[in-house]
Amino acid sequence: MAGNAEMASLEESFRKFAIYGDTKATGQEMNGKNWAKLCKDCKVTDGKSVTSTDVDIVFSKVKGKTARVINYEEFKKALEELAPKRFKDKSKEEAYEAICQLVAGKEPINVGVTKAKTVGAVERLTDTSKYTGSHKERFDESGKGKGKSGRENIVDTSGYVSAYKNAGTYDAKVKK
């Protein structure tokens, strides 16, 4: 079978694809959508010998009767099912190793994600060094926002008068 390091990177790929697009996912189980994405992104589906329909059928075969997800062991079984179909000219073991190499170490690809680009007016409007008045107080010298302290006047409730130079020294004097 495949090497130990390869199995670790195969499991890492499984976890990355399992949590893709789902904020509540733990990485222990993968749904059908993410299984199909893994097969597509790792070039397991080639459009000829392995199609998206084949991928869906294999997923349905390896998952439990009422389950909607597969775990890592079922994932390896699914790869074993697809391997001879994808690599027809190789033996079952060689095909499994080859399909593991396709998947190992891969991450989900973000396709169709638009990049935010700044053009003339936007750049001028978002340059914090040109801000004036109360807006200027919301950012430090580097242009990073100050958060709540930049929006509100936070009241000092320490009990000392503002700008009192010995503020916070009472406890030290009383202990002596």
Q: Answer yes or no: do 35 and 11 share one domain.
A: yes
pLDDT of residue 58: 92
- Tens digits of per-residue pLDDT, 149-173? 666 777 777 777 777 777 777 777 7
Indicate the number of domains in the chain.
2
Q: Answer yes or no: do 37 and 83 share one domain.
A: yes
Computed over every residue of the chain, the mean pLDDT equals 82
Q: Give the residue carrying structure tokens 């990355």.
A: 16
Which candidate, 56, 54, 51, 49, places its Cα nearest to that of 35?
A: 56
- Give the separation between CA 80 and CA 88, rounded to whole angstroms: 13
Whether pLDDT at 91 is above 80: yes
pLDDT of residue 46: 87
Q: Answer yes or no: do 121 and 83 share one domain.
A: no
pLDDT of residue 3: 62
Mean of pLDDT values over 74-102 = 89
Q: Answer yes or no: do 138 and 60 share one domain.
A: no
**Could you tell me the CATH number of the domain that includes residue 31?**
1.10.238.10
What domain range includes position 118? 114-144
Task: Supply the pTM of this predicted model.
Answer: 0.61
- Give the separation between CA 131 and CA 141, rounded to whole angstroms: 11
Q: Answer yes or no: do 16 and 100 share one domain.
A: yes
